[in-house]
Amino acid sequence: MIPYEGRVFRPPSEAYSLIVQATIGCSHNRCTFCDMYKEKRFRVRRLEEVKADFDLARAAYQRVDRIFLADGDALMCPAAHLAEILRYIREKFPECERVTSYGSPKSILVKTQEELNELHELGLEMVYLGLESGSDEVLRRVNKGETAAEIVRAGQMVKAAGMKLSVTAIAGLGSLERSEEHAVQTARALSEMKPEYIGLLTLLFELPTPLMRDWEEGRFYLMEPVEIAAETLTLLENIDSEGSVFRANHASNYVNLAGTLNRDRESMCARLREALAGKVRFRSEAFRAR
């Protein structure tokens, strides 16, 4: 089997995808809420290493329909390097229906629109982009490393290349102090990108992070379920992203939501209002997971 380096993460929708590490770790790796790649030093893997993993997979699997390029920022590969990986996938796995990867705003913005267009033509079908918040102040506090405008521009470039865009945001990231600002500005940023998919997670501490330490020492307030529901309601009431599939059914969420915007917005808002009125039970902390 493929010899993965360290812990490997993938989006829930890539559960049945072949995962190959094009990079190791995360190119930024300084977000205060994230523990995913802290044990890794970022590097772009040599082309020979990546091809060797694909060779192992080809020998092991008769059919591969989906491929996810890991780790946290495969798009940080130089465009020519990533193009060669995509050509090798096309050669080795002609049956593959889609190739996807995580992409940081920075890794997208350092590429030209023409380079992104070529990557799509070579088979890169979708990019997963972390917005986290549309508030510049919240982004600054969690050391995201980019402004909301930069993240929006990166998402728009992905879509202009013909790729699908999946964007994540994190409820509770601004704490109660900036909850409304976080919700309204995140809705604005999502509306400007109009991604095909929106995934809303809820802030949860499991392994140590700088933000978890702030919470433990009383410098950060972790919002209660009813406060998260109110924040999510504000976000949905302010978003305008026709056709975006909206999901808040991750194990971190207190209330499961799923629908297509803007069509299903009111039904999702109604469920949140029921939760706020005590008519929908919040997910127990014992059953939440990151």
Instruction: Identify whether 262 is preceded by a cis peptide bond (ω within 30 of 0).
Output: yes
Lowest mean pLDDT among 32-46, 170-184, 186-200: 32-46
Residues 40-65 have a mean pLDDT of: 97
Percent of the chain topping pLDDT 90: 97
As given in the structure block, the two tokens for residue 213 are: 């330490």
The helix/strand/coil state of 243 is coil
pLDDT tens, residue by residue, 134-182: 999 999 999 999 999 999 999 999 999 999 999 999 999 999 999 999 9
**pLDDT confidence of residue 224:** 98
**pLDDT confidence of residue 195:** 99
Q: If you average pLDDT over every residue of the chain, what do you get?
A: 97
Closest by CA to 199, choosing from 276, 146, 290, 132, is 132
As given in the structure block, the two tokens for residue 285 are: 């902390």
- Res. 290: pLDDT tops 80: no
Residue 201 has phi, psi (to 5 degrees) of -100, 170
- Res. 191: pLDDT tops 80: yes
CA-to-CA distance for 229 and 223, rounded, in angstroms? Answer: 10
CA-to-CA distance for 63 and 65, rounded, in angstroms? Answer: 6
- Res. 1: pLDDT tops 90: no
Contacts of 286 (CB under 8 A, 6+ apart): none
DSSP, residue by residue, 149-214: HHHHHHHHHHHHTT-EEEEEEEETTTTGGGHHHHHHHHHHHHHHH--SEEEEEE----S--HHHHH
Q: Please report where in the chains the tokens 């290349």 appear, as a residue.
A: 161
As given in the structure block, the two tokens for residue 64 are: 């591969």
Closest by CA to 204, choosing from 42, 88, 58, 34, is 34
pLDDT tens, residue by residue, 6-29: 999 999 999 999 999 999 999 999
**pLDDT confidence of residue 246:** 99
Strand partners, 66: 98
Sort strands 43-44 and 23-24 into parallel, antiparallel or unpaired: antiparallel
Closest by CA to 87, choosing from 162, 13, 79, is 79
**pLDDT confidence of residue 289:** 86
**pLDDT confidence of residue 187:** 99
3-state SS of 26-63? CCCCCCCCCCCCCCCCCEECCHHHHHHHHHHHHHHCCC
Domains of the chain: 13-279 (3.80.30.20)
Buried residues in 139-171 as b, exposed as e (16+ CB within 10 A): bebbebbbebebbbbbbbbbbebebbbbbbbbb
Q: How far is CA 191 from CA 152, 165, 244, in A?
A: 9, 13, 10
**pLDDT confidence of residue 149:** 99
Residues 195-218 have a mean pLDDT of: 96
CA-to-CA distance for 96 and 103, rounded, in angstroms? Answer: 20
pLDDT tens, residue by residue, 71-84: 999 999 999 999 99
Q: How confident is the model at residue 199 (pLDDT cuts 50, 70, 90)?
A: very high
**pLDDT confidence of residue 207:** 87
